[in-house]
Amino acid sequence: MEEQNRLDPSIRPYHVFINHRGPDVKNSLASTIYYSLRGKGLHVFFDTEEFQPGQGLEPTITNAIRTSLVHIAIVSPRYAESPWCLDELRQMLKSGARIFPVFYNVPPNDLLRLQNGKGIFANSFEELKSKKNNNNKCRYDSETLLQWRKALEEVSNISGLELDSSKFNGGQGKLVNTLVAHVMAHVTKERKKPLKALDDAFEDFIYFLSESRNECDSVRIVGMVGVTGSGKTTLAEEFYHRRLGYFDRCSFLLDVRKASERNGLQALQSQLLKDLTGHEEKICNISKGKEMLEDGVNCLSRHTSCKFLIVIDDVDNPDQLDALLLEDCLLGSGSWVIVTCRDKSILKLSKISLHYKMKPLVRDDARELLCREAFHQVEPIPGFDNVVETALSKCGGLPLYLKLLGRHLHLYANNREESWEQELDMVSDIGDICKITYNALEEEEKQIFLDIACFFQGMEKKSAIRIWDGLGWRGARALLKLENMCLVEINEKNRMKMEEFHSNLGREIADQQLITSPDLPCRVWRANEVTDFFEGRLPVPEHIKNRGFTEGTRSNHRQFGRKRLRTYTVSSVTIELFHVNGDLPDDILSDRLRDLVWFRWINCPRTSIPLPEMSNLRVLDLVNGNFTTLCDSTSQ
């Protein structure tokens, strides 16, 4: 038995089903295709059991055919000898899923000759027709034989790949590579196929905009309001991409809340200026940045009739809108600004009066989303309807909850229904889902998860791995595990992203570990707490203060800052990773940062940096600084 069968595939959703004739290709072409697809991370059904005469398709195979996104039919010379191959093909065509035929030593056109009793499979069909059962009656009736013949004719008309094994020209390797590329493209497309729920939400938003239209408004500024997980960002992205072609200049500022914490509002102002005017400028002062934005857009609007589309996503502070939201008088007629926010009062403070409230998904749409994540199909696997209903009742129609719970349940796709029910019993809210998944990690993986939650969101994957490797951790291995468990996503720019629930959980755990876990890395990540830590006001536990680390000793305690730091008074903890926004006193630069593995300094006002010798430094990230030289004459 293959591994897939050992894991009870009767309930497992598959990406690919391979239909083949064992004696022809099982140990050659079919196996190569199977392992190549598995190497790409796909779940592939590749049956290894022979069936007994007179036995119908096993429920395992029938279900695998029904649930697979893609079918591969390897049609070989002895293919039609097997009634099971033929009946699998019939069911594959009936399922409506995409079929990729591979014609192995069989010309596709030859299959069409069956209708005249000719061709490569004519003798095989005659033998099937003559087979008798124990009662000396025909084992396969004429209707069944007709369906199998039609299935072969139909598959011959599907564009596929051909291989002649008698030609030693590397054809098999090329065929497998081509086939795998086609399958991967189709699976990716199916997984990203828009949900009906998203189409419905988009249409509802458009209807809201048309109903609330005021002829006096030449510029529309709309707030999109909803709780965490209600789909604000997803709907805003959908509107942005569908309406992109109607505007002259467009900008999407994604996740303003986290981006402003990470790089400052100046970086977002620079992005907005570049998107709207094409000018790339370094902005070091928020007030000056706002002036540059207003002047640039005003100049553009005076000389052209530009229509702008701007999305400001996930705002949680009025200061963010003060820095990024332009007066409607500066924007050309027909321009749109969309702001997503959890707190309606922030919109009101910025005089945004038009508010669209997100709605929970209706039952059918919620069910589709959950099933896509849990089963990789739009319907539950047979026997799991009750589990799905229980899961739906826990999510309240919120898309992010449904996605997270579905992904969590997919981790248990090899278990039976009662195992899923036990898993759901442990989940009272979405926080429980995150905790259960976190607790399943190894200790090193947990620490890397906490690093990302507190500090590394938006960082390039390679940079983070270099940092963790510098700390003696297996960064690439741990990050892959976090990706596979859907705790971290890597976006198209190869940067790390984490859902808000996971980020909040990580920060809560980091706070707890600071007090309760003396042997684990501690993380101080809030700007005011970092200042308090350096000034000795943060109530750091005695077991941390009195560990007696001497200068130069590598400790596993790490501190981060995002604010100007003043007097340093705590000397017992070695700092390995550090992030600061603004200036640093010379004594901290020279005395406390020698053991750094990662140093990120944004908006440094100095023209030179008196860095000490840092033998462990792996990543130095200097953003928006005024420096002209890295070190001054006093540096080592």
End-to-end CA distance of the chain: 64
**87-98: b or e for each residue (b if 16 or more CB lie within 10 Å)?**
bbbbbbbeeebb
Q: What is the DSSP letter of 122?
A: H
How many residues in total does the chain contain?
Answer: 636
Give the Å distances, CA to CA, from 388 to 403, 408, 428. Answer: 13, 13, 15
Collapsing DSSP states into helix, strand and coil, what is residue 262? helix
Q: Which helix (H) or strand (E) holds 347?
A: helix 344-349
Give residue for tokens 């019993």.
425
Give residue for tokens 């069909």.
125
Helix 399-410 and helix 363-375: axis angle, to 10°?
Answer: 30
Collapsing DSSP states into helix, strand and coil, what is residue 348? helix
Q: How many CB atoms lie within 10 A of CB 573?
A: 20
Beta strands in 105-176 (DSSP E): 161-163
Q: What is the DSSP letter of 582?
A: S
CA angle, 27 as apex, 23 and 33 as ends, to 5°? Answer: 115
The helix, strand and coil proportions of the chain, stated in percent and rounded to the nearest 5, come to 50, 10, 40
Residue 279's φ and ψ, nearest 5 degrees, are -90, 130
d(CA 58, CA 15): 19
d(CA 454, CA 577): 12
Contacts (Cβ under 8 Å, ≥6 apart) of 175? 29, 102, 161, 163
> What is the full DSSP assignment across 388-411?
HHHHHHHHTT-HHHHHHHHHHHHT
Q: Which of 81, 88, 499, 576 is catalytic?
A: 88
Q: Any catalytic annotation for residue 81?
A: no
Task: Read off the amino acid at residue 166.
Answer: S
Helix 31-39 and helix 171-191: axis angle, to 10°?
Answer: 50
Catalytic residues: 88
